[in-house]
Structure 1
């Protein structure tokens, strides 16, 4: 079989490990081609993985596949009909394009693998890349805590930790639990704000000299001390966590395990010559949901 692989928009930690495993396994019996859609020209370029030195081990994890821009309409991907099967990796919003392509093709099957550093994938226990991203966020905040814990300010320090982009409520809440912080969601209501201020006052009245407040870019950081926290005596400072740094090259143990499970699921889907669908992890097992 002639197998194509394309990666849209996002490559969180674990994707490259997954690709090495999939390519090295499939090359034993199939032609495997990396595909890239150029954002400027809209042209597709190809890389025959048989010409690459792809080892089925963890020795060399050089990047195998460049990212492609997700097209607004899938017509630019009609050339993919020349493949027997295409594995498509990307964020949740890429699924609509994958479904459209699967309906467009007569004899080409498409397998969608949703990935995310947020818990925003429908139907999966935890998307590939999530655990590594959350670990990086927590480590970054704890390093700041080690510094400010030894410093004294005229007023208690409220450190706003702003996560880049639009972050799911679950990410904010889980990171806050891990570091003993507080959350301000972008769509907060007045009663939540009052409860937040009450909790912060309780922290400071107990002798705590600092607290963390987590939010994402949908909230203007400067409005927090000047508008919403104006009635609390605080020393305000912000720290921004770069989304790109949450997708580092070193996956956590959990993301490595998830990557290998998903890789095995992709290989099995190809070998069984299954119809189009998407690949998820449910109850710690790989689950192919056919369209």
Structure 2
């Protein structure tokens, strides 16, 4: 293999730059030329492809976001549009493509491998939601988790001072991992996630029970995929009389310098992606399971029932919030 390309796609996540850095430097170490595709799949269509050198990724490991930029490109689902991107890869002599992103980004990489067998593709899981199968953790999850924890710790000061219930809405459309891990970390009384059906009346009773035993405030963690924070507050008001306030953390969860854990994870996964390309592997996503680097075929990653929500942690949060 002589030439590869790397792109970041979908929502950005802290640690993407560290992953790109690892891909570039590991490839150059092995005498492989690297090209950066700017603006994700949109850049692939527009031929926004440029050669990267060692210096191109200098001073990037600590930066959030992605210096290659990212863009959602729904039109890449169309075969004729994909062919434009494939033609551009061929024009530059690209033999391998590393895609850093989530489920949609992986599906684009799979289509390229199916429609152009001479180009190998490997996916690196970059998403704060931690919703990619084949890996215990995705790049950006730990940083987003710590951002939530830091924010809620500050909100708790106000909640305690004014004896209020605070409802914290966090990201997680289809996966409740951020809400779950953050809820346990900040001592939330209730965690509402897509994986578990929640009875708002029971939530209200738990809050009321806490008030009666002298609790001054409550924290309710809500994953956006279940309901908005405002909707949760309105439902709670039907069953319990509390001064509930809503904080929507929003895109602050995507930003910031990546934690050490995300930097290490991104570096390891980026290096492993190059190893796979050099071994002739294609249509696979890299990941980490039990601290061991692994790779999984895209077809297996796309199985909806594979991602394992940790119900043991969920039950523990209920036991600790009595």
Report the TM-score, using the length of structure 1 for normalisation: 0.86
Which of 235, 240, 246 is residue 238 of structure 1 equivalent to? Answer: 246
Structure 2 unaligned residues grouped into runs of 5+: 299-322
Aligned to 1:16: 17
Structure 1 pair 77/236, CA: closer, same or farther in 2 (3 Å)? same
Greater fraction strand: 1
Q: Judging by fraction of residues, say which structure has more helix.
A: 2
Correspondence for 1:67 = 70
Mapped to 1, the partners of 2:12 and 2:44 lie a distance apart of 22
CA contact (8 A) 1:279 1:287 kept: yes
Q: How do 1:13-92 and structure 2 match up within 5 A?
A: 13-28=14-29, 29-36=31-38, 37=40, 39=42, 42-50=45-53, 52-55=55-58, 64-70=67-73, 71-73=76-78, 74-79=82-87, 80-81=89-90, 82-92=93-103
Number of aligned positions between the proteins: 285
Residues in 2 aligned to 1:50 and 1:220: alpha-carbon distance in whole angstroms: 45
CA distance in 2 between partners of 1:116 and 1:64 (Å): 16
2:242 & 2:261 partners in 1: Cα distance? 38
- Are residue 210 (structure 1) and residue 217 (structure 2) matched? yes
In structure 1, stretches of 5+ residues that fail to align are none
Q: Secondary structure at the match of 2:10?
A: coil
How well do the aligned residues superpose, as a CA RMSD in angstroms? 2.8
Kept in 1, the 8 Å contact 2:170–2:221? The answer is yes
Deviation at 1:202, TM superposition (A): 1.5
Q: 1:62 to 1:98 in 2, by over 3 A?
A: closer
Matched, 1:222 2:222: no
Runs of 4 or more off by more than 6 Å in structure 1? 59-62
Corresponding residue SS for 1:110: strand
Structure 1 residues 76 and 137: alpha-carbon distance in aligned structure 2, compared to 1, 3 A threshold: farther
Q: Secondary structure in 1 aligned to 2:133?
A: coil
